[in-house]
Amino acid sequence: MIYITGDRHSRFYDVYKFCLKNKTTKDDVLIVLGDAGINYYASKMDYFLKKELKEYPITLFCIHGNHEERPENIKSYKTKIFHQGIVFYEEEYPNILFAKDGEIYEFNNNRVLVIGGAYSVDKSFRLKYGYNWYPSEQPSEEVKNKILKLIDNKNIDIVLAHTCPYKYIPVEMFIKGIDQSKVDNTTEIFLDKLEEKLNYKKWYCGHYHTDKVIDKIRFMFNDIIMFERRD
């Protein structure tokens, strides 16, 4: 079975309870829509969480968020093919996988495009007080251009992203005290352009810490649900 959920920020206890309740195995997959928090430190300090998750009876398929380092920037990660697309993994933790931006995967007979990353509205706070922040948090221009070329001759059923197209931003979830005029929305603006070019049936994203549906966009945070099927 394939399931999907939102940001975890290193807190996976609800996932563990879900696994026990549903009697999952490592043949089952849980898609995490960014900010898993597994590579938050990008060092040995991530060891304890990874060791814990290694014992979970499920395989994690994580999209890149904005509160973690990209696995391609961490030396211990290798690549392999998973559901017909490239993923990053560490040999010691074979059930913890990270999607590659711009890859197309196949889940439940759906062609699934992945595009992770977003801007951190708490960037200045994190830098000021010594919390981790990574300059690679947003997708590069190279990746965005690759995606726009890729979709010209590809049918995409579902998009998995960390954030949403600009037109769908849930403004009611804005953090109080943040000057929105200083927020970099270039990723969301790009996703607007991408969304207009796609004939898709579903778009899943996290980032905004809410569970709601707007048109074909599903925002996820606490919910853990079955992934879309195409029979």
Q: What is the reported pTM?
A: 0.96
Work out the percent of the chain whose per-residue pLDDT is above 90: 90
State the average pLDDT for the chain. Answer: 95
Residue 231 — very low, low, confident or very high, per pLDDT cuts 50/70/90?
low
Determine how β-strand 224-226 pairs with β-strand 202-205.
Answer: unpaired
pLDDT of residue 1 exceeding 80: yes
What does the domain layout of the chain look like in residue ranges?
A: 2-226
pLDDT of residue 152 exceeding 90: no
The mean per-residue pLDDT over the stretch 52-65 comes to: 98
What are 24-38's pLDDT values in tens digits? 999 999 999 999 999
**How many angstroms separate the CA atoms of 104 and 223, rounded?**
24
Give, to the nearest 10 degrees, the angle between helix 141-150 and helix 186-197: 10
pLDDT the model gives residue 146: 93
Residue 177 — very low, low, confident or very high, per pLDDT cuts 50/70/90?
confident
What are 92-128's pLDDT values in tens digits? 999 999 999 999 999 999 999 999 999 999 999 899 9
3-state secondary structure of 198: coil
For the domain spanning 2-226, the CATH number is: 3.60.21
pLDDT the model gives residue 18: 98
Question: 60: closest CA among 103, 21, 104, 90?
Answer: 90
What's the Rg (C-alpha) of the chain?
17
pLDDT the model gives residue 145: 95
Q: Retrieve residue 176's tokens.
A: 């109080």
